[in-house]
Amino acid sequence: MEYRRLGRTGLKVSELCMGSMQFGWTADEATSQQIISAAFEAGINFIDTADVYSRWAPGNPGGVAEEIIGRWWRSAGIARSQLVIATKVRGTTGSGPNDQGLSRIHILSAVEASLRRLQTDYIDLYQTHSVDEHTPIDETLEAFDDLVRQGKVRYIGASNYPAWRLMQAQWTADRLSLTRFDSLQPHYSMAHRAEYERELQEVCRSYGIGVIPYSPLAAGFLTGKYRREQDVPPSARSAGVTRRYFNERGWRILAAAEQVAGGRSASISQIALAWLLADPSITSPIVGPRDLDQFKDNLGAAGMRLKVDEMEILNTASHWRED
């Protein structure tokens, strides 16, 4: 497993990041622990979670994924320094008026709950899950800055920020001499390019912001399990997949990925991940396997380097800019 620097920081993380949204949702605790153990043994040191995972699942109050990760690393006897744990704050964690958002009161409360569930005394990367339009950015950054100074958080990052919001945060941090966002977690894949590439890509490259794409397999579309001529397989995400990707561009991308995969005896998902890793500004795509077979398939992308002609095939099929 190769390791990459997270943006301008000195933090080194594995080139694949183990996501955990499926923990306690589509993967029970026993399966989740098997997956995360296999990932660690394969050299993956980077784990991404959130305090709300997976609150939307029946019987899941939120925080379950963090609890599973905490129990896993403690019971496995792994040194905390061997892991890079990232979690997020923003979503609803209770029923009170201050149990959501990026206000100081919620951040300071939420971080303590995350530390407790993760069974750790620090978080390597603490991220805003999305923009909070009702809280001034300086209040959010000042709270994060305090956590960094206290040693409870090492670095901070953002997720789901448009370019202007990200720049607003960086300028505010610079103006007030506060800790700045060192990473961005955008929705980015070969099938979903415009949202990141239109403006965010250049911001991240110019300002040394590490990029940790989520949904790199387009919610399963870039695995090949969806086919134009076949019935839609049952899945918790099928409705979103059909709405977003069942179109001529989507089928064209899938065919191109399959063509490149066939020339390498690789899977479509491995090609989709390798396409992201070909961009030097990408730190670590987040994979979310729900079983060991899916994990082993994802792992096959580690160290894979696509050739120029292969990238041309994929980029031509997936382009989004108007001619």
Q: Which two tokens stand for residue 153?
A: 């958080």
Rounded to whole angstroms, the Cα distance separating 281 from 202 reads 10
CB 43 within 8 A of CB 14: yes
Which residues have CB under 8 Å from 288's CB, separation 6+?
A: 19, 20, 21, 22
Pairing of the two strands 3-5 and 12-14: antiparallel
CB 132 within 8 A of CB 101: yes
CB 86 within 8 A of CB 127: yes
Q: Which two tokens stand for residue 65?
A: 């994924």
Active site residues: 53
φ, ψ of residue 308 to 5 degrees: the values are -60, -45
Q: Crossing angle for the helix pair 104-118 and 137-150, nearest 10 degrees?
A: 40
Rounded to whole angstroms, the Cα distance separating 33 from 20 reads 11
Q: Which two tokens stand for residue 230?
A: 């076949």
Residue with tokens 């990232």: 86
89, burial (CB in 10 Å: exposed 0-12, middle 13-18, buried 19+): buried
Rounded to whole angstroms, the Cα distance separating 61 from 66 reads 12
Q: How many residues make up the chain in this entry?
A: 323
Q: Which two tokens stand for residue 285?
A: 């795509």
